[in-house]
Structure 1
């Protein structure tokens, strides 16, 4: 049974970026096997790990939120989508043992991600040869480069935002946790880094790319100053050169970045809204904050966010602006939780993130720190936990990193960082 469970875990990590339905089946199968041999001490382990306990409690509060939601059908769907908040901490709490397990399952994730990237590239090249061009034209007569943004990853129904998170985490692992955890050969390691780095920029996801840039630069600067190693000093200019080349080679991310700055400037000087993603986010955040003020304690109920935003938008913006942001969530995970289930739920969620960060810093666990900061930053720009791809990814790696963070207490055995 333990061997089967380990194979299921390997398949789970491999399938996360590649095929979500297989991931769901692996979780269900693993949970079933765990339930058969369930041990009461798992409950005490969950109780001792407050971060995971708080995330599990959030799911209970989501269920309670169904009792007063204004959109029952969507609320029930959200309960199904976000079941990983409870299932993964409860059934996976005793699944990972030591840094070797962390390395083993990260490698399975990286191999699955590599297959995902190769499929996207093969599909794009195939379309180029079959259509004899680099661009396609949509129903609105807009040209899209086959190698960029949604055109690149659409073959796997993979949104660029989630794709950028997968790639960012994989690069963090290969760059900063490789030396003490991985058995890859150096040539293979750098080949994967280059492939993932190129794919990251092809996603053209502003939040994913800029948050990766900010965190990787900050951490590498810390390493360069503190460690004072030649190898660390080489990584920093390589990162800078890589980012510069990618911005020059990808006109879409440059265009989207310029539009984001322009939208921000227009928002600050109150010059109106535009049909651009950053401008739409400002409108959604404004309506969200105003709506939260009406029901700060309980919110509007699980699954009610879209309907609340649709109903409230017209009070603050014109009909044309509201049509542009209709049927959207808040595009901010913190606002989404507060609007749906109230400030107490938001406080619990932020407390879980802070506890995770505190534990990672206390244990000098570089990879856990990078993971937590990466998600915490992206939560400001996307409601990542409203889709199964996001919540499964977040919870699986949260449990993996959290339960393997404090295995080695001897400073000599800790990460070199």
Structure 2
């Protein structure tokens, strides 16, 4: 009887809204489908609230208002921008900053473990899908022969070309893999079965090797620190020395395979770091050159920035004046907030990150702590909150993790 009640309770925890939320977290990589599911999610929640005619139990936190301030930077910045259409486009992209926190204020997630399982499963499936597509293109679409390992690991089949099936930016997918690895490592902290531990560890290694193929430099650095640090901490804390030895063997084997079979990706990673070290003297247009081009704009608009819609226009003018041919963004989220909203905007953004980090440390919550570190690290090399891939990922998980952060 007790088990039956448990099943019924678990069934009640899964409704239409929750199913749509599962669809959202499983489709971050699908740029066309994901927005449809997000809209459906909010419409379904509003519809159910109206049908039930129940009072809204709206719970707020101080951190919620900080997130609202982050979103309001866009509308406020629109008041002093010249490129109004561009400004409205940016506000439209970032509306998730407003909607997801408000959604979690009225909808309580009771099956967060299931949500994370669906997310991790979707990432692993995408890793295999991208790999299979790459192998198919290599064996059946290649016009270069012979089909050697060096050719397979060339630029045509690694880096951003590894995820061309969904036209997914490798830096963002690297961020997704990072968080999936964190969730898997968090699961390792509670698993008692050795066989399950081994399977999960192998999955983490497979996804980490995929990061090497993608040449996602920031994700690789963060992944190395988080995975190695977490495994050592978990196994030492649990006094599982045999599993620690096994994990060391698996990791050493993964490193050996990388050194032996992934030489070209490793060389490309080394080249990119060397170019960053050369700074302005590098032949390629590195991020250092892009960042230096942003400095004059920041100095001239230090307090409130250039506004929501004028960042790229001003940045591209500065690029041309410095002989930079790139038409991309500044590839640094901190500098992007400085450009758009000045010191005020940067302080709000840093406040959001600091609030999350403080809450994660206060509750000693491993998952939220690592999630925040991933976002902070990725913000150094990408404008992750300027693209749908990054905005929905951050907005969907950040406040959810904040509300569910409890001492482990």
TM surpasses 0.5: yes
Aligned to 2:381: 381
Q: How far off is 1:314 after superposition? A: 4.4
Superposed, which structure 2 residues align to 1:164-313 within 5 Å?
Answer: 164-180=174-190, 185-186=196-197, 188-223=199-234, 226-230=237-241, 231-232=243-244, 234-236=246-248, 238-267=250-279, 272-275=281-284, 279-313=285-319
Question: Is residue 27 of structure 1 aligned with residue 10 of structure 2?
Answer: no
Q: How far off is 1:86 after superposition? A: 0.7
Question: Is residue 107 of structure 1 aligned with residue 117 of structure 2?
Answer: yes
Q: How far off is 1:144 after superposition? A: 4.2
2:138 touches 2:157 (CA, 8 Å); kept in 1?
A: no
1:135 touches 1:145 (CA, 8 Å); kept in 2?
A: no
Aligned to 1:4: 16
Hey, what's the Cα distance between the residues in 2 that align with 1:8 and 1:338? Answer: 35
Q: Deviations over 1:19-53 (max 9, x none)?
A: 2322212211121122231777554x2x31x3343
Which segment is superposed worse, 2-11 or 293-302? 2-11
Hey, what's the Cα distance between the residues in 1 that align with 2:190 and 2:399? Answer: 20
User: Which residues of structure 1 form unaligned runs of 5+?
Assistant: 137-142, 407-413
2:185 touches 2:231 (CA, 8 Å); kept in 1?
A: no
User: Which residues of structure 2 form unaligned runs of 5+?
Assistant: 1-11, 147-152
Q: How far off is 1:146 after superposition? A: 4.6
Alpha carbons of structure 1 residues 247 and 390: separation in structure 2 relative to 1, 3 Å: farther
Aligned to 2:167: 157
Q: Deviations over 1:317-338 (max 9, x none)?
A: 3x3xx11x2x221100010011
2:276 touches 2:287 (CA, 8 Å); kept in 1?
A: no
Root mean square deviation of aligned Cα:
2.8
Alpha carbons of structure 1 residues 263 and 361: separation in structure 2 relative to 1, 3 Å: same
1:63 touches 1:79 (CA, 8 Å); kept in 2?
A: yes
The size of the alignment, in residue pairs, is 384
Alpha carbons of structure 1 residues 232 and 368: separation in structure 2 relative to 1, 3 Å: farther
1:127 touches 1:146 (CA, 8 Å); kept in 2?
A: no
SS of the residue corresponding to residue 342 of structure 1 reads helix
Hey, what's the Cα distance between the residues in 1 that align with 2:24 and 2:191? Answer: 20
Q: How far off is 1:291 after superposition? A: 1.3
Q: How far off is 1:103 after superposition? A: 1.4
What TM-score, normalized by structure 2, do the two folds share?
0.85
Hey, what's the Cα distance between the residues in 2 that align with 1:192 and 1:217? Answer: 14
Alpha carbons of structure 1 residues 40 and 162: separation in structure 2 relative to 1, 3 Å: farther
Superposed, which structure 2 residues align to 1:55-70 within 5 Å?
Answer: 55-70=67-82
Aligned to 1:409: none
Hey, what's the Cα distance between the residues in 1 that align with 2:343 and 2:171? Answer: 26
